[in-house]
């Protein structure tokens, strides 16, 4: 079994975290550096993350997460933030490809034009894409954490308006999910049951 398969099969959502465990800034950066490798539509990279580590911030975000203890106990809780107007960053983001002559001007213009057509004036597409990108990035981070011997706990149970206010988010940003990461404490649940393959997969 490959290491990737091991990691996928070993990951579970942890509820109990060792409150004495800490992650250094370098360890947090290493996790997020891997999450940055996550693919996004048009390579918009329309997400970012805030690492909640200080005791005061953990206390504040625990309350915003309806008292979920893992926000306080985990070494870090990542707040994944989706960006609605990420397509507007594309001219800058993909310019290195143009400069390196990996794409020509027509491809560059077409790339930006297609993204504009899909997202400009289409708020549902903008929101869907920000959630997709943030969710994929969070999944990468969960597997990166598992690879480093850590556990993780994704959360949608939080006051989105309160989190947006606490993080000072602008009108083009919103919190997508919280993700607690750290060392486990005893008492976490075993793997949970999954649907049968036949319930999930159909081949046409």
Ligand X SMILES: Cc1cc2nc3c(=O)[nH]c(=O)nc-3n(C[C@H](O)[C@H](O)[C@H](O)COP(=O)(O)O)c2cc1C
What one-character DSSP code corresponds to residue 183? P
CB-nearer residue toward ligand X: 122 or 127: 127
CB of 99 to ligand X, least distance (A): 38
CB of 60 to ligand X, least distance (A): 17
**Angle at the Cα of 176 from the Cα atoms of 172 and 178, rounded to 5 degrees:** 135
**Contact of 76 with 23, CB cutoff 8 Å:** yes
Cα–Cα distance measured from residue 72 to residue 63, given in angstroms and rounded to the nearest whole number: 9
CB of 123 to ligand X, least distance (A): 21
CB-nearer residue toward ligand X: 65 or 115: 65
Cα–Cα distance measured from residue 84 to residue 173, given in angstroms and rounded to the nearest whole number: 6
**Contact of 181 with 85, CB cutoff 8 Å:** no
CB-nearer residue toward ligand X: 112 or 131: 131
CB of 178 to ligand X, least distance (A): 7
CB of 114 to ligand X, least distance (A): 29
**Contact of 167 with 113, CB cutoff 8 Å:** no
Nearest-CB residue for ligand X: 157
The b/e string for 32-71 (b: 16+ C-beta within 10 A; e otherwise) is bebbeebebbbebbbbbbbbbbeeebbebbbbbbeebebb
CB of 121 to ligand X, least distance (A): 28
Cα–Cα distance measured from residue 157 to residue 65, given in angstroms and rounded to the nearest whole number: 6
Q: Which residues bind ligand X (CB under 6 A)?
A: 12-13, 15, 68, 154-157, 177, 192
CB-nearer residue toward ligand X: 39 or 67: 67
CB-nearer residue toward ligand X: 4 or 24: 4
**Contact of 14 with 179, CB cutoff 8 Å:** no
CB-nearer residue toward ligand X: 88 or 146: 146
């Amino acid at each position: 079994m490959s290491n990737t398969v091991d990691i996928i099969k070993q990951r579970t959502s942890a509820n109990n975290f060792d409150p004495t465990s800490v992650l250094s800034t370098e360890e947090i950066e290493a996790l997020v550096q891997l999450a940055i490798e996550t693919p996004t539509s048009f390579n918009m990279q329309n997400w970012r993350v805030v690492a909640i580590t200080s005791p005061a911030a953990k206390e504040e975000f625990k309350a915003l997460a309806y008292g979920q203890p893992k926000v306080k106990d985990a070494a870090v809780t990542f707040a994944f933030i989706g960006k609605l107007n990420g397509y507007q960053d594309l001219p800058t983001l993909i310019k290195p490809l143009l400069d390196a002559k990996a794409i020509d001007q027509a491809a560059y213009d077409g790339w930006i034009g297609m993204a504009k057509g899909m997202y400009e004036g289409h708020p549902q597409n903008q929101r869907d894409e920000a959630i997709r990108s943030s969710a994929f990035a969070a999944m990468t981070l969960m597997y990166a954490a598992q690879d480093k011997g850590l556990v993780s706990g994704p959360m949608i149970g939080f006051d989105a308006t309160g989190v947006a206010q606490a993080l000072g988010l602008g009108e083009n940003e919103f919190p997508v999910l919280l993700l607690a990461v750290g060392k486990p404490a005893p008492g976490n649940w075993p793997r949970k049951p999954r649907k049968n393959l036949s319930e999930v997969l159909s081949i046409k």
